[in-house]
Amino acid sequence: MIYSKEIENMCPVHKGANHGPAPIPEEGQWVKSKEISDISGLTHGIGWCAPQQGCCKLTLNVKEG
């Protein structure tokens, strides 16, 4: 293949960034869970698509994953 000079001067990325899992709220603390068994607690969430449609409330209770 014929590459442009811009492509030839780029350095390859060998390994991506390792940011780890995103923290989730669990009973007043932020927990970085790596497996589903790490999650235990009660959480509430509210979401809506459009203001005229109202909103919905989600309560999730997870016991030891």
Paired strand residues for 25: 30
Greater confidence (4 vs 42) lies with 4
Whole-number pLDDT of residue 37? 74
What confidence tier does 31 reach under pLDDT thresholds 50, 70, 90? confident
Flag whether pLDDT at 10 surpasses 80.
yes
The rounded Cα 26 to chain-centroid distance in angstroms is 14
Q: Check residue 26 and give its pLDDT.
A: 75
Whether the Cβ atoms of residue 45 and residue 57 lie closer than 8 Å to each other: yes
Q: Would you state the pLDDT for residue 50?
A: 65
Average per-residue pLDDT for the chain? 76
Residue 54 CA to residue 65 CA, distance in Å, equals 31
